[in-house]
Structure 1
Amino acid sequence: MTSLAARRWLSLLLAFLGPILVLLVWEILARTETINPLFFPPPTSLEATARGLISSGQLWDDIRISMLRVGAGFLIAAIPGVLIGMLMGLWWPVRAVISPIAAAFFAVPKIAILPLVIIIFGIGEISKVAMVAISVLFLVVLATMSAVLEIENGYFDVARNAGASVWQQIRTVALPAALPGIFSGLRLALGFSLLVIVGTEFLAAKNGIGYLIWNSYQTFAIEKMYVGLIVTGLLGWLLNFVMDEVECVVMPWRSPAGRRLSIPVPEFARNWFMATRPFSFTASIIPALVGTALAAYSGSFSAGLFLLVVVASLLVHAGTNLINDYFDHKHGADTAESVGNAGFIQSGIISPRAILAFGLVLFTVATALGLVIVAQVGWPVLLFAIPSVLAGYFYTGGPRPLGYVALGEATVFLFMGPVIVVGAYYVQTQHVSWEAIVLSIPVGLLVTAIIQANNIRDISDDTEVGKRTLATFIGQRWARREYAALVIGAYVVITLVAVGGLLPAGLLIVFLTIPRAIELVRIVSRRDDAGMLNTALRLTAGLHLQFGALLSLVLFIAAIR
């Protein structure tokens, strides 16, 4: 084992060992009464209290309420905060006017302005959200301004010499260069938002995590108080994790190695894992998540069944990717020069027969998990499971592969849209609904857009080897139009569903992703180079992820309420 790998293992071990050691020492000191167990109850004694709060629904309600306040206040402050900070960093007159105000207000203890906020906004929800927004606004402003001021003027000079307008200088120079500093400010602001809302709920709320902690203190329910404190810490960690993930999406060029713990694995295991193309797995996870979220909205949810559905779907997806690589190699569709394939066969790292065998093994394991689900739910699950496995194999296998006779897009739409969404919904509720069928359509349209982007990129290569995708059949011009129709169609369906009252109007939040959708349609419609189309493929997968995650979030929030 190399010194780097040993260090990574040690870092991972210490990350888990630290909290465990603290809890163990706390447990021993409390059990031996070295510290007063009345004020420091043993960690193991908190389990019953936590279970009671969870089963009663109080803990989930308090978490939901506090997180909604944090999220709303943070977003209200972050967007104008970044804009104001950019203006302050770029133009000295704006900086001269706002800097004294921002610096003075930032220094004021935030709890001191709570009475004023209550006087202005009342004692309802608006005052809580306003308290968060006001408290973190100038933190974001000052962090963004500092990040912009640190950019070297030479970059702006180059942009101006190239004829860039003011807006182009902001978009192509100021914003990308300042993003690391902006995200540092946003990370601090998000954590500070949680601190502010807990403090506000101490004094001016009748619900939320802060109220749970304060009320438990006042009634001397020490175990409840500690549960609230632990949950607050976990929420802080979760918010930091979410910001890490957002930062990786927004700034993919930054290496996460310095910020994340990664588990070192042997090279051969990594190769086998990467051969399954794990970066594509969100195309299976999102439909299962949407179907489960809709079931939760309808009043049925089992975390265990959801986990089984997700794992089974991922195994089928991974097996399909492997078998697809094997048969595409066999048919000559994938070569060492091909863009987008895993490449482990072409490079000689893994033999073709081993890839095929691994894919069949994953299909077998997925089938076994399907039988476990059948045992808990009933035989109709097989109506979703068996066709999915067969479609995965015959997509590129068999005498007339579906992907080679212009049926690949339809297969992807059907089995990674309606089949997974409705199947996941059925596993939770034991029935099929029109809502599940309709909601599966936009999910299926976007996942089909992913494969369509792939096929547009590969039109010339597929034509040479006789692979008849829908893109090669209708030609590049109409294939591009089909891509646009798939993307636009997803938003049209959601609009009809939400406006028509079939599902919550909050689903319209997916329109936050419309700028990316427009950009993707523009790229696919105008660009011919394989590299840019490959980028569009990955970004389409990201759009599918964001779209489905927002749908699921709205449905889960509606279910909790």
Structure 2
Amino acid sequence: MSDTDTRRSGYILQIKFLLFSASIVPALLIGVLNYGTNFSPLSWLLVIIGLFLGQAGGDYLYYYFTNNHTDNRDAHTKIFAGWKPFFAQYFKKENTSLIVGLVVLAANLFILYYFYVSIGWKILAFAAAGGLIALTFTYLMLKGFKEVTVFITFGPLSIAGGYLALTGTIALEPILISIPIGLLITLVAYLKGAKIKISDDGQNVVSIKNWLIDSLIYGAFGSIIILIAGKILPLHSGLALLGLIPAMMLKKKLSNTSASMAQYLSATVQSILIMIVTTIGIMAGWILQYHYPLNL
């Protein structure tokens, strides 16, 4: 294996593991939004597990419905050649990933029942929306609705639904706070599915939409500033703006309309870290506000 292939495999492995932060990080944020209240740690744990299982189940279904990532419309076919969900390399039959995906999603029904007993019918609407997206995820992705689907799923739907699970309340606050997180997860999704083109010298390069990257980055951090100014987020959550540092580094790395494969994969890893750093900043600010209140 060449150094280039080794480097590419290393980046892909990092991305494979880090991608699950898309469900885990919002779930952690949900708990922090209830910091200092008497919410149930068991309920929080079940929210984390539920969102994780939802993402994992969707991954197995996506793998199956793209014919093990051989569909030409699927970015994994070229850029992430050989990409498989966890343990898929051990599957002997083609339909095993379909069965595993459905079983993983079905496991969430036990978690749903727990919250239905404690909260009531309201949680069913969020669960139905999440389940529908998981089942139709491949169709939506291949039809060009990837960014919108990812934003809604890992932004407002996950965070507002998780907040409802912990508090029994449908509230505007978590929906607003989910906006910057959803935009940054959408940035990850866009980069992960960027298109390959042939450069003038015959090399495979990745086509980059700089305007979309700029819109997602500035939209995310601009919304954080607005939320702080509007007293939705505490002043301490200005720590989230530290995420601008790796974000500007990413913009510099992808300053052209195309990028080499190494630049692209490195930037994809970096985009996940931007989301994690920014969310940690929001959460740290929320906890600091509880102990050391500051007001504008």
Sort the TM-score into its range (normalised by shorter chain). Answer: 0.7 to 0.9
Q: Spell out, residue by residue over 1:62-92, the C-alpha distance to the aligned partner (whole angstroms, 9 max, x if none).
A: xxxxxxxxxxxxxxxxxxxxxxxxxxxxxxx
Question: Is 1:291–1:421's contact at 8 Å kept on the other side of the alignment?
Answer: yes
Q: 1:353 and 2:91 equivalent?
A: no
Distance 1:556 1:302 in 2: 17
User: Residue 450 of structure 1: CA displacement?
Assistant: 0.4
Question: Is 2:197–2:207's contact at 8 Å kept on the other side of the alignment?
Answer: no
Q: TM-score, normalised by structure 2?
A: 0.81
In structure 2, the CA distance between the partners of 1:377 and 1:342, relative to structure 1 (3 Å rule), is farther
User: Residue 476 of structure 1: CA displacement?
Assistant: 4.8
Structure 2 unaligned segments of length 5 or more: list them: 1-12, 199-205
Distance 1:308 1:486 in 2: 30
Q: Which has the larger radius of gyration?
A: 1
Q: 1:287 and 2:26 equivalent?
A: yes
Question: Is 2:242–2:277's contact at 8 Å kept on the other side of the alignment?
Answer: no
Distance 1:337 1:502 in 2: 42
User: Residue 531 of structure 1: CA displacement?
Assistant: 2.6
Letter in 1 for 2:183: L
In structure 2, the CA distance between the partners of 1:516 and 1:537, relative to structure 1 (3 Å rule), is same
Q: 1:538 and 2:244 equivalent?
A: no
**Counting helix residues as a fraction of each chain, which structure ranks higher?**
1
Q: Spell out, residue by residue over 1:16-71, the C-alpha distance to the aligned partner (whole angstroms, 9 max, x if none).
A: xxxxxxxxxxxxxxxxxxxxxxxxxxxxxxxxxxxxxxxxxxxxxxxxxxxxxxxx
Q: 1:380 and 2:111 equivalent?
A: no
What corresponds to 1:407 in structure 2? Answer: 145
RMSD (CA atoms): 2.7
Name which of 280, 283, 296 aligns with 1:549.
280
Q: 1:486 and 2:216 equivalent?
A: yes
Structure 1 unaligned segments of length 5 or more: list them: 1-273, 462-474
What corresponds to 1:418 in structure 2? Answer: 156
Distance 1:378 1:508 in 2: 36
Q: TM-score, normalised by structure 1?
A: 0.44
User: Residue 556 of structure 1: CA displacement?
Assistant: 2.8
What corresponds to 1:45 in structure 2? Answer: none
In structure 2, the CA distance between the partners of 1:336 and 1:395, relative to structure 1 (3 Å rule), is closer
User: Residue 349 of structure 1: CA displacement?
Assistant: 4.6
More displaced 10-residue stretch of structure 1: 446-455 or 494-503: 494-503
Q: Spell out, residue by residue over 1:165-223, the C-alpha distance to the aligned partner (whole angstroms, 9 max, x if none).
A: xxxxxxxxxxxxxxxxxxxxxxxxxxxxxxxxxxxxxxxxxxxxxxxxxxxxxxxxxxx
Question: Is 1:322–1:356's contact at 8 Å kept on the other side of the alignment?
Answer: yes
Name which of 260, 269, 280 aligns with 1:529.
260
Q: State the identity %.
A: 23
What does 1:9-408 align with in structure 2 at a 5 Å threshold?
A: 277-296=16-35, 299-329=37-67, 332-333=71-72, 338-340=78-80, 343-344=83-84, 349-350=90-91, 351-396=93-138, 401-408=139-146
In structure 2, the CA distance between the partners of 1:507 and 1:433, relative to structure 1 (3 Å rule), is same
SS of structure 2 residue aligned to 1:406: coil
In structure 2, the CA distance between the partners of 1:366 and 1:507, relative to structure 1 (3 Å rule), is same
Name which of 159, 182, 189 aligns with 1:444.
182
Size of the aligned set, in residue pairs, is 266
Q: Spell out, residue by residue over 1:361-396, the C-alpha distance to the aligned partner (whole angstroms, 9 max, x if none).
A: 100112221221222222211111121122012111
Question: Is 1:312–1:367's contact at 8 Å kept on the other side of the alignment?
Answer: no
User: Residue 337 of structure 1: CA displacement?
Assistant: 6.2
Question: Is 2:159–2:174's contact at 8 Å kept on the other side of the alignment?
Answer: yes
Distance 1:336 1:295 in 2: 38
User: Residue 340 of structure 1: CA displacement?
Assistant: 2.9
What corresponds to 1:229 in structure 2? Answer: none
SS of structure 2 residue aligned to 1:340: coil
Question: Is 1:284–1:314's contact at 8 Å kept on the other side of the alignment?
Answer: yes
User: Residue 306 of structure 1: CA displacement?
Assistant: 0.6
In structure 2, the CA distance between the partners of 1:558 and 1:325, relative to structure 1 (3 Å rule), is same
